[in-house]
Structure 1
Amino acid sequence: MFYVYVVFYKSLPSSLSLSLYWITHIISGSDMSTSDDKPEIVERGTKDEKHEEDDKEEGKGGFIEKVKDFIHDIGEKIEEAIGFGKPTADVTAIHVPLINLHKADIVVDVLVKNPNPVPIPLIDINYLVESDGRKLVSGLIPDAGTIKAHGEETVKIPLTLIYDDIKQTYADINPGSIIPYRVKVDLIVDVPILGRLTIPLEKTGEIPIPYKPDIDLEKITFETFSFEETVANLHLKLENKNDFDLGLNSLDYEVWLGDVSIGGAELTKSAKVEKSGITYIDIPITFKPKDFGSALWDMIRGRGTGYSMKGNIDVDSPFGNMKLPISKEGGTTRLKKKKEDRDYDDDDEDDED
């Protein structure tokens, strides 16, 4: 003999009626039909069997109440899940931590906000950098992290532009120029219930293709002269061939007269070098003339002597700090008196000789 328990809970969400039906069905081992809030027991057995089941009624009722509470909690969780929202994202900044003649490192800051009660993973980040519709670089960053529940996080996307690759691909992009760019980013996130979502982002800006400055040692003026130690000034002409201004911070250099190094140094020097402009810089130097042989005597006699110069300049630009090389091979310079005009034309004197 057996009993049929017919149970119906009006207080539960309608979406859980089916689940409750099957759980109650398993407990009672029979079919169900609609009744009031309290379970209705229909007797179909003998009195002895009914008496035995009455002893167990209280225990079974407590168990069913626990099942009811459990399913109610599940219903609340499902309702919360149905209310999950789509994360939002925005490009907040673009940084250029490194730029030189060979490459530019770019970091894109993306602020991602998660409105959901659980953390969400960033599955992939796809990025593309283009200029006037032409691809400069693209890539994929997998497993980019997790955004905490009801939180936000700035995700940093590192990119690198290799200038040689760009110039080989697009011959019309010239060194020293400024080109427009567009960064496109697709964030792929995984949200419970909603599944995988793609959040597209874009940001535009400008990036330079740097060109190294030209440098000339126009003349050397002596402050004090002796064969043991001479103090002189190197008068340098620095030409900026870029389409943007440079702010000189410092330079390091080494100078050779003929085949002999007269030394070098690293100096802090401030000067503005305007775009496509020329700036003159004076650099003090100390050396021993007795080590130079014929190169020095050629200078003393008014003849030009060959020189070479290599080094680097540290400059600020509208796009960030740069360290650019400077070099001059096979140049010619002359000895000048201390107070002579800087605009002395070496080429004219070469012609007169």
Structure 2
Amino acid sequence: MMPRYISFLICCLLIGLVQGCSSLQQVGQVMEGRKPTAQVEGIRLTGLDFDGVDLVFDVDVHNPNLFAIDLAEFDYDLQLFEQSFLKGRQSAGVNLAAQTKSRIEVPLRLGFQQLLKSYHQLRNADQASYQLDMGLGFIMPVIGNLRLPVSFAGDFPVPKIPDFSIRSLSVKRLTLNEAEVLLQLGVENPNSFSLVLQQLDYNLKLNGAAIGKGLIRQPVDIAQGGNSVLSIPLTIDLAEAGKGLYSALLGLSGIRYELNGSILASGPRELLESFKIPLEKQGHI
């Protein structure tokens, strides 16, 4: 009886293993046909300063399964003018709900010095060709880790920082105690796309004295390659600014200025939603 019982157990075990392998194989086949899909929907410029430009690639990921899956990480290789420029890997930690489409953002920072050193043609270029090769790393049930390759190519405008200059400082009213002046700030847009200056956050010094600071919401449209003027009204407390500035405002001497702050701007909706431009300017009026 004992040998027959052992033989029976072995047969049951073998049958179970065969059925188990068959089930796993079937599940694997099902999962093979239910892999997530991904597509790069576009590219946006989110930051611009004297050191570089911040780009964001929007990637839509679709999970067709009846259960949630995890996007653990992604790697990327950004190529400019058919040359690899920026490689890296970032953790994602995104849980993708069942049968839904989710958007992830891939932020990349392009430094101007490194760009110009690697690509001399960028100095006078208005457009740059690029290709982004990505690998999305998923943690999947049964089949384990899965890397999904995604590629996206196109052209993006090469952004250039607008040039600012103080056109004039007009004295509207002058007493021994205070002065009302109008500062005309010129802005030139060297880009191949239009800009909308939405607001100005500024700090102004005249002859070393802090004159004023504030936030001006005065939307100004500047066409590509065009220029415009921002008018900034100021009231100066001459008791704090000193007699030297009083004499300067009478036209007896020049005025040294320092203008710092930032301008919130936007561009074409498909590329530029909103970004800040640093404002740093010194000189004489």
Q: Which residue of 2 aligns with 1:287?
A: 236
Cα shift readout 1:90-117 (whole Å, capped 9, x = no counterpart): 21534547312233142432313344x7
Specify which of 250, 253, 259 is matched with residue 300 of structure 1: 250
Q: 2:8 aligns with which of 27, 40, 44?
A: 27
* Residue from 63, 70, 91 that aligns with 1:113: 63
1:205 shift after superposition = 4.0
Counterparts of 2:53 and 2:228 in 1: how far apart (Å)? 26
Counterparts of 1:191-270 in structure 2, within 5 Å, are 198-270=147-219
Deviation per residue, 1:147-190 (Å, 9 max, x gap): 66x64453625332232332332232238844232221123557
Match of 1:321 in 2: 274
Partners of 2:40 and 2:152 within 8 A in 1: no
The one-letter amino acid paired with 2:196 is G
Return the letter of the residue paired with 1:91: Q
State the shift of 1:309 in Å.
2.0
Higher strand share: 2
Q: State which drifts further: 68-77 or 264-273.
A: 68-77
DSSP 3-state at the match of 1:173: helix
Q: 1:227 & 1:175 partners in 2: Cα distance?
A: 51
Displacement of 1:4: 9.5
Change (3 A) 1:168 1:304: same
The whole-number CA distance in structure 2 between the counterparts of 1:168 and 1:210 is 17
Whole-angstrom distance in 1 between the partners of 2:205 and 2:96:
58
Q: Which moved more, 1:189-198 or 1:133-142?
A: 189-198
Deviates more, 1:316-325 or 1:102-111: 102-111
Asked whether the equivalents of residues 175 and 209 of structure 1 are also in contact (C-alpha less than 8 Å), the reply is: no
Q: Which runs of 5+ in 1 are unaligned?
A: 6-23, 33-63, 333-353
Alignment-derived partner of residue 39 in structure 2: 91
| Larger Rg computed on CA atoms | 1
Question: 1:295 & 1:136 partners in 2: Cα distance?
Answer: 51
Do 2:254 and 2:284's aligned partners in 1 also have CA atoms closer than 8 Å?
Answer: no
RCO comparison, higher one (Cα < 8 Å, 6+): 2
Q: Secondary structure at the match of 2:193?
A: coil
- Show the 5 A alignment for 1:103-182: 103-115=53-65, 125-141=74-90, 151-152=99-100, 154=102, 156-163=104-111, 164-174=113-123, 177-182=126-131
Whether the aligned pair in 1 keeps the contact of 2:256 and 2:284 (CA below 8 Å) is yes
Identify which of 180, 184, 189 aligns with 2:133: 184
In structure 2, list runs of 5 or more residues that go unmatched: none
Residues in 1 aligned to 2:67 and 2:214: alpha-carbon distance in whole angstroms: 59
Q: What does residue 81 of structure 1 align with?
A: 27
1:285 Cα offset (Å): 0.5
The residue identity in structure 1 corresponding to 2:212 is G
User: When the two structures are aligned, how many residues end up with a matched partner?
Assistant: 276
**TM-aligned CA deviation for residue 122 of structure 1:** 5.2
CA contact (8 A) 1:223 1:231 kept: yes
**TM-score normalized with structure 2 length:** 0.77
